[in-house]
Amino acid sequence: MNIAFYAPLKPPDHPRPSGDRRIARLLVRALTAKGHNVQVASRFRSREARGDGDRQRRLATIGRRLAERYVRQVLNRSITSRPQLWFSYHLYYKAPDWLGPVVSKLLKIPYVVAEASYAPKRDRAPWRMVHHATGAAIAHAQAIVTLNSDDVGCLLPLLDKRTERIHRLKPFIDIDAMSMPAPGERCKRELAARTTLDPSVPWLISAGMMRAGDKLASYKLLAESLEHLKQHQWQLVVLGDGEARADVQRAFGSLAGRVHFAGVCDAPQVARWLSGSDLYVWPAVNEAFGMAFLEAQACGLPVVAGRTRGVPDVVCDDGSGFLTELRAEAFANGVERLLLDPALRWRMGQFARSYARNTHDINPASEQLDKLFRSLIEPTQ
């Protein structure tokens, strides 16, 4: 099947890494694995984050022109090379899809969206126009693939409560790509030899971009939580970097001797750090779900996370870790339970590894997407 893929927030080949780009790439890989020809239809970014009405209108105009141009180009191709389905990933009021609805209507092909979110509170200035455009796109979609169960409640009214148009897809990663590069203790010894970290003391680990907003709030809450655990032995490894690095480092100021900033790491380095650590900790303030939780669990780490939005979709509470309230004391209590109980840490880590593979691997996600997409185009063939 020929699939036109579009991510209005950030295309999958964008140079700046992020969780959003990661999911876009995984969706493309999942479909390609089933033999589909997935082509990025456009790299046009519709994101407008300041509430600038004039810019929103300009982006809408540009988007419609690009959609019409794309259709003209497609109609000049042979029938066998034309897209049979349009697939848009991650549309919301700050990044509406100006292309997909237009193209799908003109080409008379199914329109499918993944990770679409709709917030009724945005139905006011300065977001009313883009809010309505996002709602219209969602209502137009033949199928909505949801990776975050927290989104469903606001989507249903747009679909006349026709739940059959919503297809739940568990967030997923390529588990085999996250397989342990070496036994955990060996990874720890090798990493400790290149740093000042003590291999005899438990390693906590976090990963997140360092930017203002929710990410910085998570770092600050983590630092405040660990302040409550200064009487215990532990070290924290932080993977990530960004424009708010100085603010993050200040948040951990009183814990500086216990925190190692590893910076930006590629996938093999991330797997090595996770495999050498003992416990993954991240509050996940206002995060959709958090792909890093799946990576940590795939490497056999138990998790302590905030019980927020879609995080319960990717962390099994009391199984692969603990979900806590977003309060420093509550989060610290979750970390303390696993920090002081190596046997519980090991059991939860083993469960986390099997949970990630059995529930969040790319292979069943590929099967599910393939089945859905074929069901949408076969009746029209």
What domains lie within the chain, and their CATH numbers? 2-172+362-380 (3.40.50.2000), 175-359 (3.40.50.2000)
pLDDT of 56 > 70? The answer is yes
pLDDT in tens, 63-108: 999 999 999 999 999 999 999 999 999 999 999 999 999 999 999 9
pLDDT at residue 288, rounded to an integer: 82
Residue-level length of the chain = 381
Asked whether the beta carbons of 5 and 39 are under 8 A apart, the reply is yes
pLDDT at residue 242, rounded to an integer: 92
Strands 85-89 and 2-6: parallel
pLDDT in tens, 248-277: 999 999 998 899 999 998 888 999 999 999
Element (H, E) at 324: strand 321-324
Determine the average pLDDT of the residues in 131-149. 95
pLDDT at residue 8, rounded to an integer: 97
Backbone angles phi, psi at 119, to 5 degrees: -115, 105
Determine the average pLDDT of the residues in 29-53. 96
Per-chain mean pLDDT for the chain: 93
pLDDT at residue 179, rounded to an integer: 60
| Count of helices and strands (H, E) across the chain | 13, 12
| Sign (positive or negative) of CA dihedral 76, 77, 79, 83 | negative
Q: Give the span between the Cα atoms of 367 and 371, in whole angstroms.
A: 6
| Sign (positive or negative) of CA dihedral 39, 45, 49, 54 | negative
pLDDT at residue 182, rounded to an integer: 60
pLDDT in tens, 296-346: 999 999 999 999 988 999 999 999 999 999 999 999 999 999 999 999 999
Long-range contacts of 128-134 (CB under 8 A, 24+ apart): 129/53, 129/56, 129/57, 129/60, 130/48, 130/56, 130/93, 130/94, 130/96, 131/93, 133/60, 133/96, 133/97, 133/98, 134/91, 134/92, 134/93, 134/96, 134/97
Helix (H, G, I), strand (E, B) or coil at 189: helix
Q: What percent of the chain has pLDDT over 70?
A: 98
Higher-scoring residue by pLDDT: 355, 183: 355
pLDDT of 380 > 60? The answer is no
pLDDT at residue 177, rounded to an integer: 79
pLDDT of 181 > 90? The answer is no
